[in-house]
Amino acid sequence: MSRSVACSFFFDNELLGEPGMPAMDACALCAKPLARDSDVFMYRGDTPFCSEECRHEQMHLDAVCAKQAARRQQIFSAETESHRGQRQPRKVSVAS
C-alpha cells in the first residue's frame, strides 16, 4: 500500500460524529490542522497530534493529572480512615 493510499484511507474512512472520539483533522493539543501529506503522531490509540512535541506535552499533562488524582485519593482515604475511629456508638442510659 503506498503512502498516499494509506493517508487517504486514514482520513477518508473515519467515522464522523462519534462522541468522545477526537477528529483526525486537527491536533488534539494545539488544534493545528493535520495535512494529508504530513506525519500524524498518535497517543492512546486514537488521539492525533501534529508533532512529537505536542504529543509529549499531552503525555506530561496526563502524568501530572494522574499524580494529582492519586494524591487526592490518598488524602481522601486517610481522612476516611481517621473518621472511622471517631464514629463510636454512644451508650444511652435508660432509666429503670
CB 25 within 8 A of CB 12: no
Q: Which domain holds residue 59?
A: 24-79
One-letter amino acid at 65 equals: C
The more confident residue out of 86 and 37 is 37
Residue 10 domain-assigned?
no
Does 40 map to a domain?
Answer: yes
* For range 28-42, the mean pLDDT: 93
The more confident residue out of 38 and 54 is 54
**Domain presence at residue 51:** yes
How buried is residue 22: exposed, middle or buried, by Cβ count under 10 Å (0-12/13-18/19+)? middle
**Residue 64 pLDDT:** 96
> Where are the alpha helices (H) located in 1-96, listed in sequence order?
3-12, 52-86
- The DSSP call for residue 89 is P
Q: How many domains does the chain have?
A: 1
DSSP state of 57: H
Give me the pLDDT at residue 9, please.
46
Q: How far apart are CA 73 and CA 87, in angstroms?
A: 21
Alpha-carbon distance of 39 to 51, in angstroms, equals 8
**Residue 70 forms part of a structural domain:** yes
Decide which of 83 and 63 is more confident: 63
Residue type, 89: P
